Structure 1
């Protein structure tokens, strides 16, 4: 979920100061991404809108993956979108008079002994370029996302507690987060209590963790969204999250002025054996960092000209007639079938890494008996590699080596 407000004052505290309360976490930790329900994701028209390492529970719900953690003292459990495309961690807070409905109770900062507002005089108030001073001398923020949703509230510091897959608690003090008091009624559903920004900017949870777990790195293994709800995804943090071994392919992270997105270079996509270059010309002319990986955006979003070529070739290779008589599907490329399509296999050709994508990763069922290509288009030259195609891969983000690594894996297995 890409943010509009991502110009960060990088001169301040990188990483931010926080402390581990207890525990031996040199290797990191791993958590599950908790699944709430097996409901199908909603599709806007054209899609546009295991070990002792630290881990986090993450679940799939309506096309998003929810991370479980606790904030405050005593710990208060929240379920929030795991988002590598933005930085700010936030949750809805009492009082929340202009917020979207959520089924779980909201966090009440007056009931936490470890909650402190970030004062206007603190450098932390400048972590986001939207930080402004309120009449009460508190640091207010506004943070908006690419789909038009947004959150407004107060920047604060809290104790954040993860529960690893071994059952151990991993508490961190002094984490900066947003206490949301005015949040979009459109863009979030009632299971989502906020969002966990996992991008590369200074305000993100990853940057605040820094190298405290043996290395500034994390990995994820996302289950396909139509997996049984009892099966969780996994996210790991620290040195133990490094992706290695047989079958690993890696591509360089591309550094840009915007530090939040994880930019990589996509040279082209093959549909079966048909190679389609990203730019329509030679792959040698492709701009560096032309896509970024975003766990908070379900579809893969490509520049219109490239998208049109990919769709045309998929149509050419699927021996079925596309659905054309269902207005609810918009302009999506869809087919009616009881089971997922048998092909074609798509291959994303990143710089130095070829990533094969099976139909379970590329064709998504918005409703029974219909499968749609999980891609859409944009007028921008920069695309987004969404979470549908990230599933069933162990993907490692190594911010120190500046590499992203992929290893094909059945993420429904506890390995």
Structure 2
């Protein structure tokens, strides 16, 4: 498959019905001789996903994905950021974007939990469960793990997470609420977290900070048993991997067609380095909350028409630096309304074809799906990095008849979604504070 920078409109029309990456992952990792390891990513609508519904049509799955993408945006708004007294972070209202197979404890106890790039804490439902949502798999029993330890209120680990308090027995208690009003409450603890390995050698992470949830509820699906935070905060799984991965990880999102269940991969450590011909890098910007990964968007070009990103406003999306979040769990690319209107107008002018309504009633700029539809190349101008997007990254087929522009307008927010990242090797280096992009055929990566 051609890289995204050279994707044709014909590939768009034949392979995009199932390419939305509001994805779930089932995680299996492989250790490598150089210290890195690799993890499998599975699209939430793939037959490999526990959320796969064979009774749904491709268009029905797509419509749900698009609506989840819009819903997710609200969780990145100021109203859902952490505050000192009532911590909040992102969680998907419709069962989560990712799932992850990991094990907790000694002996390892397998759990299948939502992997969330928009939150930090790793937690699972635990016995005894005072008030838990229904889950299909057994609950984790901390008494069965020889390496499980509740943290005291006076411990350093207790102080690094906002929203903690003390139980009557002086144990550290956490309480977190999410943007969709889901919640978890329980004991903050440490235990060994183990990632399964496809080569038979598990990756064990001793003394990992976890939450043992005894009161959990909201929109969680019964197939999942908690949250695995992969954000940038101090207690996220990626941060706790620490020096073992040198702050490096990368992923390559595979465009899925209806006849393919090819998995994507996420790489950690030395395997996560993005290098070679065609790589461009842009600075990561440190901002609050540190959970999210902020980049600086300077402009977007539609063909040769360069449109500068607005600046000077009060919202973070109008700041001079760190004005856009890169997120692998949001399908669409979300832009402030005025800026989006300029981009949409330029794209429509470049295509010059008759517009139609979106059957999914989510996207604004749609056309009949024909082989002769000419989609312009969009260049995303991040600071120090120009990323060229082909039709695979910018348009999506929402029905047999329609293809639509996969960018949407929102208020005071900007998110660089996963459709724009497909067929790129995207690398994060939290030590060097950069994100790198390399056009890549992710099926062969």
TM-score tier by shorter-chain length is: 0.7 to 0.9
Taking a change above 3 Å as real, the CA distance of residues 226 and 372 of structure 1, as seen in their structure-2 partners, is farther
State the shift of 1:262 in Å: 1.7
Q: Tell me if the contact between 2:249 and 2:269 (Cα under 8 Å) persists in the aligned partners.
A: yes
Which of residues 167, 171, 174 in structure 2 aligns to 1:134?
167
More helix by share: 2
Q: 8 Å contact 1:45–1:331 — kept in the other structure?
A: no
Q: 1:342 to 1:325 in 2, by over 3 A?
A: closer
- Equivalent residue, structure 2, for 1:260: 291
Aligned to 1:276: 307
Q: Assess if the C-alpha contact under 8 Å between 1:278 and 1:286 holds in 2.
A: no
Residue 47 of structure 1 is matched in structure 2 by: 70
* Separation (CA, whole Å) in 1 of partners of 2:422 and 2:352: 26
Within 1, Cα distance between the matches of 2:225 and 2:343? 36
Which residue in 2 is equivalent to 1:290?
323
The alignment yields a C-alpha RMSD, in angstroms, of 3.2
> Contact 1:45–1:329 at 8 Å: present in 2 too?
no
CA distance in 2, matches of 1:325, 1:254: 36
Question: How far off is 1:289 after superposition?
Answer: 1.0
Other-structure match for 1:246:
277
**Structure-2 residue corresponding to 1:193:** 225
2:9 match: none
The answer (yes or no) to whether the contact 2:96–2:114 under 8 Å persists in 1 is no
1:8-407 pair list within 5 angstroms: 27-35=35-43, 37-38=45-46, 39=52, 40-41=61-62, 42=64, 43-44=66-67, 47-49=70-72, 64-96=97-129, 98-146=131-179, 148-186=181-219, 188-213=220-245, 215-224=246-255, 226=257, 230-279=261-310, 287-324=320-357, 326=359, 329-330=361-362, 332-337=364-369, 343-365=375-397, 369-380=401-412, 382-407=413-438
Report SS of the residue matched to 2:243.
Answer: coil
Equivalent pairs, count:
374
Separation (CA, whole Å) in 1 of partners of 2:335 and 2:279: 25
In 1, Cα distance between equivalents of 2:333 and 2:403: 15
Pairwise CA distance, 1:149? 4.3
Unmatched segments (≥5 aa) in structure 2: 1-30, 47-51, 53-60, 73-93, 313-317
167-176 or 308-317, larger mean C-alpha shift: 308-317
Post-superposition shift, 1:37? Answer: 4.2
Q: Tell which deviates more after alignment, 358-367 or 331-340.
A: 331-340
Q: Deviations over 1:243-282 (max 9, x none)?
A: 101110101112234322221111111223322211179x
Change (3 A) 1:176 1:62: closer
Distance in 1 (CA, whole Å) between partners of 2:115 and 2:398 is 22
> Secondary structure, in 3 states, of the residue corresponding to 1:329?
coil
Mean Cα deviation higher: 196-205 or 271-280: 271-280
TM-score normalised to the size of structure 1?
A: 0.78
Secondary structure of the residue that 1:361 maps to in structure 2?
helix
Aligned residues of 2:248 and 2:273 also touching (Cα < 8 A)? yes
The verdict on how the C-alpha distance between 1:274 and 1:72 changes in structure 2, with shifts beyond 3 A counting, is: same
Q: Distance in 2 between matches of 1:294 and 1:383?
A: 10
Q: Secondary structure of the equivalent of 2:235?
A: coil
